[in-house]
Chains A and B, each alone.
Chain A
Amino acid sequence: MNQLNKLSAVLIATSIMLLVSLFPGLNIINLFCCAGIIAGGAGGTTYYIRASRRAGLEVGNRDGLMIGLLAGIISAIIYVIASTLIIMYSSVNPVEMVYKFAEDYGIEIPPESENLLKMVYDDYQRQGFSFLMIGIELFTRIISHCTFGAAGGLLTVSIYNKRMSSRSTDV
């Protein structure tokens, strides 16, 4: 089966995912089951479907899945790099914000977490970033972006093909 290059579609999906994840205010969208990430996968796949239609090519479910997955991985990596740089240049220790948040809401931090937070706090004070936090952030972001991005891409192609097949049977 002939296929179009997916690079543009992946870049569009990645851009949407990053826009929604990085910008304050917009990132609220992701608090509803990563809706921004699903929208990214769906957006990139919609672009790919339209381009394929213009070229007279078919689009398979694997295309949507692949676009969502690739965009999920790329956006997770760029997100972690960007957020780490923002923290480094803003010279704010994020652990201080955690303590402030806990204090404001009357949350008691257990001793086990306290030790971990102390370690991370020292890392941020010493070098401006924490390898532990980067690792955790990268791992969790890759899983969530890939899961929801792939779901967005897959559902978009499935729904598109379903609509096309029901239209063709109507005719």
Chain B
Amino acid sequence: MEKVRYPKIIYLTILLLSVLWCGGVILAPVLAGGHYNYVSDFLYSFYAKSCHQLEDRSLTIGGYALGVCSRCTAIYFGFLMGTIFYPFFKLLRNTELPSLWIIVAAAGLVFLDVITDVTGIHKNTFVTREITGAVLGLVLPFYIIPGTVLVFHEYFNLPDKSASSGV
């Protein structure tokens, strides 16, 4: 019974963390300009470590840009969606990763979108940035969740008999 419990705890922790992460992205513009502006400043400063936050490349709420650019927003919200839908496709105790080609293809799409824009071959748009970002975000939980479950199996020396895809 013990074994069944902590994949669920790991899943809920990852879900909670990604809800908090995505919540902060939305809260930054929502709290901007009001009484809680200092919270908004803190959130913008927090996300500045991982995003350029250029206004012309960001979605806005009430005239204020989200905490991160449109591509990062798509990746983070894609990750949240992927995490929410994960139990519908895999068992929580699953430790088997999907084919590596899926993550390679998803990362490749983002890379292609960036490279074609930088080289001037094709200027990317909000749509291409969001689609490619969301695809990468959606597939990531299918690698991160089984990987984290396996970490706990290793720490508590549980035999890895539960490696079933559950599809």
Contacts and interface: CB of A to CB of B under 8 A. Distances in A.
Contacts of B154: 60-62
Contacts of B49: 30, 34, 140-141, 144
Nearest to A153: B147
Interface string B120-150: 0000000000000000000000011011101
Interface in A118-171: 136, 140-141, 143-144, 148, 151, 154-155, 157-159, 162-163
A62 B150 CA distance: 8
A112 interface: yes
Interface residues of B, number: 29
A65 B151 contact: yes
B151 to A, nearest CB: 5
Contacts of B155: 62
A159 B100 contact: yes
Interface in A78-132: 110, 112-113, 116
Interface residues of A, number: 27
Given A62-B155, A110-B33, A113-B41, A143 B148 contact: no
Contact of B150 (A34, A148, A158): A158
Nearest to A112: B37
A60 B41 CA distance: 40
Contacts of B148: 61, 65, 154
Interface string A22-66: 000000001111100000000000000000000000001110010
Nearest to A108: B33
A116 B50 contact: no
Interface centre among B46, B144, B147 (most CB of A within 10 A): B147
Interface of B: 32-33, 35, 37-38, 41-42, 45-46, 49-52, 71-72, 75, 97, 100, 103, 114, 143-144, 146-148, 150-151, 154-155
Interface of A: 30-34, 60-62, 65, 110, 112-113, 116, 136, 140-141, 143-144, 148, 151, 154-155, 157-159, 162-163
The 5 tightest CB contacts between A and B, nearest first, are A112-B37, A158-B147, A31-B52, A34-B50, A60-B154
Given A151-B144, A162-B100, 17 more contacts: A30-B49, A31-B51, A34-B50, A61-B150, A61-B154, A62-B155, A65-B151, A110-B37, A113-B41, A116-B38, A116-B41, A136-B45, A144-B46, A144-B50, A158-B97, A158-B147, A159-B103
